[in-house]
Amino acid sequence: MMTATAIQGFTQVDFDAFLALRAEEPAWLTTLRKDAWQRFEALDWPARNEEEWSRTDIRLFHLDRFAMPTTSDVAPPLAPGLLTHDVDLAGQLIGYNSQAATESLAEEIASQGVLFGSLDRLVIEQGDLLRPYFDREVVNRSKDKFAALHAACWSGGTLLYVPKGVAMEKPFHALSALGDGGIDLSKTLVILGDGAEATLLTETASTSETDSGLHCGSIELIVEPEAKLRYVNLQNWSKGVWHFAHQKATVDRNATLQWTIGALGAKLAKVNQEVALTGPDAEVQVNGVMFTEGRQHLSYNTHQHHQAPYCRSDLLYKSALQDRARTVWRGMIKVDVAAQRTDAYQRNDNLMLAPTARADSIPGLEIEADDVRCTHGSTSGRVDESQVFYAMTRGFTRTEAVRMIVAGFFQQVFDRISIESVRVALGEAIAQRVQDLDQPTPSAN
């Protein structure tokens, strides 16, 4: 019998021990992991002088405070999550510290060929089916040191595979929790075959509000022709969690994707979110809701890549910032030569609730086709004092007026989200934050 070496960090010895625990994985995956590990070892950590990292300081991040995921952590009882109140689910997966804790999938759904559950388990059971999707390398495994680390050491994670022509009405739900000092290297892989339809709600949580932790993850959404995916990820870790992620969707001919991101937690987040419209008439809507406080730093690079003609993409990110919080949004719409008749939009609105908060908003366009409609906008401002006055003349107290105006600011994103439980959950989470709002100092106008 083989005794596993205790994993203590991110050395070659730890990696070998990590692989030894995964001896059942298909050989092609082990090869992928080893290649990625070599890239991880060869790459430097992002430097401050790289444009993408110039506004996000990770000097206080030390990987050696964490260790590769093992299989020994037992999940404590976890709160049920925010997104599924009163929702009848098709299946549910709960993960803790990068490993599956519980899984469920309704029998009548499994019988239609739908796969849902722990990616760790399913990649062993369904290696041949999944290999081509790994081979597509939707998220570039060499993009940076975080991407390489994740590709080498991903663990746990979620798979949703819906075969061609199968439409799922009930949503699937995945909750991924972190314990204090825990690590989450989970990967989310969603594959919708031609004409398939599904909704996946994912969310993250911490076991306490002060937990530290590390998430270095990826999301890959593969939406084949004519398919329809609604995907939600709500990031609700404690404010001690480092969050590094590469997320990408590829949306083919006539397919649609509604992708909603909610970001409430994390100490520092550096997220690359990309949508690639790869077939004609693809349609993508991206919704982002952020509420930051304390010294949180959330940085999002969004990329709308139009590779085919007649596609539409529409991105709206809204953030409210309190205290000394900082957000960075860098948006890019890229339109390839082939992508004539593109209709693309990106917008970022920031509501500054404290003079010490800071929001950087940097929209960008890179257009190679000549017959396109691409627009962008961004706003950053405080709560409008003339709106506050108007509400006060109707009897609202100043605090009530400000809360209402902040809630209204987010309502404009909620109106776009077609899943009621998500609208309600995000609305309540925001309302809770808004309730905690101190009476802000009036701006001088």
Partner 1 sequence: MTETLKIADLHVAVEGKPILRGVNLTIRRGETHALMGPNGSGKSTLGNAVMGHPSYEVTGGTIELNGENVLEWDASERARAGIFMAFQRPMSIPGVKMADFLRHAATNVRNPDRKEGADLIPMREFRKELKEKMADLRMDVEFARRYVNDGFSGGEMKRAEILQLAMLRPKFAILDETDSGLDVDAVKLASQSIAQISQETDKGQEMGILIITHHDKLLDQNTPDFTHVMLGGKIVETGGVELARELYTEGYDRVRAAHPDAAKLEAELQENDAVAV
Q: Does 45 bind partner 1 (CB under 8 A)?
A: no
Closer residue to partner 1 in complex, CB, 5/412 = 412
Residues 386-425 that bind partner 1 (CB under 8 A): 386-387, 389-401, 404-405, 407-412, 415
Residue 138: CB atoms within 10 A of its CB come to 20
Nearer to partner 1 by Cβ, of 133 and 396: the residue is 396
**Cβ atoms of 197 and 224 closer than 8 Å:** no
Residues touching partner 1: how many (CB under 8 A)? 28
Q: How many residues does the chain have?
A: 445
Strand-strand pairing, 187-192 and 228-236: unpaired
Smallest separation, CB 205 to partner 1 (Å): 27
- Binding-residue pattern over the window 80 to 109 for partner 1, x denoting contact by CB under 8 A: ------------------------------
Our CB check for partner 1 shows the closer of 8 and 435 to be 435
Chain positions 312 to 341 lying near partner 1, rule: CB under 8 A, are none
Q: Are 294 and 325 in contact (CB under 8 A)?
A: yes
Nearest approach, Cβ of residue 408 and partner 1 (Å): 3
Query: Measured from the CB atom, is 57 or 384 closer to partner 1?
Result: 384
Both tokens of residue 402? 């400000």
Q: Which residues contact 377 (CB under 8 A, 6 or more apart)?
A: 346, 347, 348, 363
* Cβ at position 392, least distance to partner 1 in Å: 4
Rounded to a whole number of angstroms, the minimum distance from the CB of residue 430 to partner 1 is: 11
Q: Is residue 354 within 8 Å of residue 322, measured between CB atoms?
A: yes
- Could you count the other beta carbons within 10 Å of the beta carbon of residue 160? 29
Name residues contacting partner 1, limited to 336-395 (CB under 8 A). 384-387, 389-395
Smallest gap from residue 351 Cβ to partner 1 (A) = 11
Nearer to partner 1, 220 or 349 (CB): 349
Cβ-based burial of 62 (10 A; exposed 0-12, middle 13-18, buried ≥19): exposed
Q: What angle do CA 54, 60, 61 make, to 5 degrees?
A: 90
CA–CA distance, 261 with 289 (Å, rounded to integer)? 6
- Residues pairing with 276 in the sheet: 250, 305
Nearer to partner 1, 111 or 386 (CB): 386
- C-beta closer to partner 1: residue 49 or 445: 445
Structure tokens at 351: 């509501």
Distance of CA 179 to the CA centre of its chain: 19
As measured in angstroms, the least distance from the Cβ of 407 to partner 1 is: 7
Interface contacts to partner 1, rule CB under 8 A: 384-387, 389-401, 404-405, 407-412, 415, 442, 445
